[in-house]
Amino acid sequence: MERHFAQTFHDSGFKGVWMLDPSIKYEEKEGYEAYDTGCEIDVWVQTADGKPYVDMVALTTLEFFCIVLKIILMSIIMLVASNSNI
């Protein structure tokens, strides 16, 4: 399916760059299978004391929505300001 998806865009003149995000959501409590399995088989980058390195990896849906909304609002403000006689 991915090849068809990419080919469709390529056939339309689009160029693409594939990006891989090697990070994973961290959960303090157990129950997130992907993270728990990674801990079991010891695949995470570790700190000097041997614990998995944890950092912010992704925005929540709400954070993403807020950023997009701010960009839209700023664009509207700039458009209105550029068309006014201020």
End-to-end CA distance of the chain: 52
- Whether 5 is covered by a domain: the verdict is no
In a domain, residue 29? The reply is yes
Q: Which of 62, 57, 49 has its CA nearest to residue 26?
A: 57
- Do 37 and 60 fall into the same domain? no
Alpha carbons 34 and 23: distance in angstroms, whole number: 11
- Decide if 57 contacts 27 (C-beta within 8 A): no
The 8-class DSSP code of residue 28 comes to S
pTM beyond 0.75:
no
Pair (48, 69) in one structural domain: no
> Does a structural domain hold residue 24?
yes
Structure tokens at 80: 């209105």
pLDDT digits over 45-86, tens only?
888 998 888 877 666 777 778 888 998 898 888 888 877 665
Mean pLDDT, rounded, for 12-41: 78
Write out the residue range of the structural domain in which residue 49 sits: 19-54
